[in-house]
Structure 1
Amino acid sequence: MGKKVALNVFYNIIIFLCIVIIWNAVEKSRWEFVLGCAFIAGMIITLKIRLIKEIKGMQK
């Protein structure tokens, strides 16, 4: 269970970093970074949702 909590924290950090990178990339008109980080953030959010569902399933 501790590994799953650590993984969830890691996912949160990655999502936050992607948001910061996207924000800076939009200000500097670097659209390739926006596209790349949006893709990575989308994948991490999908993995985070799966992890949350798995944790909820373990508690039942």
Structure 2
Amino acid sequence: MSRITRRSYTDEFKHQAVELAESLGPAAAARQLEMSVKTLANWVDAVRAGRSLTSEARRP
């Protein structure tokens, strides 16, 4: 059975993706960036709530 690899995104990419989602909408932006709509929506929600998008707390 093959393992699913997780994609990692830079903080700069996350911020640019959120800006794109705010201009195009999350679904259109996610399609354009070839990523999950839910992941992008989580980032947008985090920015609106004033939370950080940095990935410091993630385990290696």
The two structures have a TM-score, normalised by structure 2, of: 0.36
Of structures 1 and 2, the one with the larger relative CO (CA 8 A, separation 6+) is: 1
The two structures have a TM-score, normalised by structure 1, of: 0.36
Larger Rg: 1
Which structure has more helix as a fraction of its residues? Answer: 1
